[in-house]
């Protein structure tokens, strides 16, 4: 199962909104074949593995990270192929939460005499597909907040200078993240201050650009900003409200590869929950929120964030600087926002701290 998880990981960022899945076929203590789901619409991991071993699969054991599907989608049902291969046993990491699948694939296998075991390395399998699970169960993307900060929690000087708080290695790690998520999001203030491209730029490797989302409730953005004038396969989506300037809307609609998402207004601000619902409907399963502090705080205040990744640099900025969560609303220590499952990883001279809300 560990090997199947490693295989599945190879396709991170390429299967969405489908899950990551790896499979290994074993017989008499020997690995016959391996496979993983490489891209949405492509062959599933089980089929990739089984077609490599042919008739040798009879009597073998299949290890697969996710419950095999029993229904027609972009590809035929995997369960039928598993049964025809005359496997003796199937070991499954986790049940598929998709209502079209959940438990049905397992029941069909058992009904045809295949021994089934479920829940091997289940926590690891669920963690690997946390974005898929969130999207399937709640129809909204899994939201990751990414922050680059000094040890005292500052992201920029009082004058807005933030380039660069963290090391080259940490910034490359962020570009790897961009390559693996469906979309990234920033607020319009960050566009005004930094004029970012929000593309993926990896050293020695061609990355994939995610969808770029700008939260701009009134369409304050300057149409000449880089993010609206890119040569990228990925689109830029402007999330705004009915308060948006109609003249600006028409001007931006003329832009190539730029779309406008109109969201509800909530007390004079864009309703982030409505935005997430719309993104889920468009097949966005994972969302990396890159800032700034007001946007990060809003996602936390409204309990819409699932995970936070803070890249801490061994530096201090002190008073007068801009703190990373400067708009959090905490009335007392009893109502602190608590993180679980903390993990610390050294990256260059920096430290990446990850946790779940």
List residues with catalytic annotation.
46
- 3-state helix, strand, coil split of the chain in percent (to 5) is 30, 25, 45
Assess whether the previous peptide bond of 164 is cis (omega < 30° from 0).
Answer: yes
For residue 295, give the H/E element and its range. helix 293-301
User: How many whole angstroms separate alpha carbon 47 and alpha carbon 66?
Assistant: 13
Nearest Cα to Cα of residue 145 among 298, 274, 276: 298
Nearest Cα to Cα of residue 61 among 20, 103, 1: 1
Q: Collapse the DSSP code of 36 into the 3-class scheme (helix H, G, I; strand E, B; otherwise coil) and give the result.
A: strand
CA-based max dimension of the chain: 70
List b or e across 138-166, with b for residues whose CB sees 16 or more CB atoms inside 10 angstroms: eebbbbbbbbbbbeebbbbeeeeebeebb
Long-range contacts of 166-170 (CB under 8 A, 24+ apart): 166/311, 166/313, 166/348, 166/350, 167/313, 167/347, 167/348, 167/349, 167/350, 168/348, 169/347, 169/348, 169/349, 169/350, 170/311, 170/313, 170/347, 170/348, 170/350, 170/352
Long-range contacts of 77-80 (CB under 8 A, 24+ apart): 78/44, 78/46, 78/47, 78/105, 79/105, 79/108, 79/109
Please report, for residues 162, 207, 229, 312, the alpha-carbon distance to residue 211 in angstroms, rounded to integers and kept in the order given. 23, 13, 14, 26
């Amino acid at each position: 199962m560990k090997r199947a998880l490693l295989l599945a990981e190879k396709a991170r960022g390429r299967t969405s909104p489908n899950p990551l899945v790896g499979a290994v076929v074993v017989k008499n203590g020997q690995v016959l074949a391996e496979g993983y789901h490489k891209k949405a619409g492509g062959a599933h991991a089980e089929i990739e593995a089984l077609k490599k071993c042919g008739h040798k699969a009879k009597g073998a054991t299949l290890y697969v990270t996710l419950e095999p599907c029993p229904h027609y989608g972009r590809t035929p049902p995997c369960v039928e192929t598993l049964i025809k291969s005359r496997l003796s046993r199937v070991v499954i990491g986790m049940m598929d939460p998709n209502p079209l699948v959940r438990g049905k694939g397992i029941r069909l296998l058992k009904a045809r005499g295949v021994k089934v075991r479920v829940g091997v390395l289940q926590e690891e399998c669920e963690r690997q597909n946390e974005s898929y699970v969130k999207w399937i169960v709640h129809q909204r993307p899994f939201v990751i907040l990414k922050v680059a900060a000094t040890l005292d929690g500052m992201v920029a000087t009082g004058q807005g200078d933030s380039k660069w708080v963290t090391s080259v290695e940490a910034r490359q790690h962020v570009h790897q993240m961009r390559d693996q998520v469906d979309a990234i999001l920033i607020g319009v203030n960050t566009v005004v201050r930094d004029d970012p491209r929000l593309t993926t730029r990896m050293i020695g490797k061609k990355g994939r650009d995610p969808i770029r989302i700008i939260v701009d409730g009134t369409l304050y953005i300057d149409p000449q900003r880089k993010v609206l004038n890119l040569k990228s396969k990925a689109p830029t989506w402007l999330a705004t409200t009915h308060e948006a300037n109609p003249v600006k809307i028409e001007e931006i609609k003329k832009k190539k590869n730029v779309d406008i998402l109109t969201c509800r207004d909530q007390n004079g601000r864009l309703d982030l929950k409505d935005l997430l619902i719309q993104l889920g409907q468009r097949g966005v399963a994972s969302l990396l929120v890159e800032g700034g502090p007001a946007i990060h705080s809003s996602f936390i205040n409204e309990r819409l964030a699932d995970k936070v990744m803070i890249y801490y640099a061994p530096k201090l900025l002190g008073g007068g600087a801009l703190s990373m969560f400067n708009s959090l609303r905490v009335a007392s220590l009893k109502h602190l926002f608590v993180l679980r499952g903390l993990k610390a990883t050294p990256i260059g001279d920096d430290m990446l701290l990850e946790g779940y809300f």
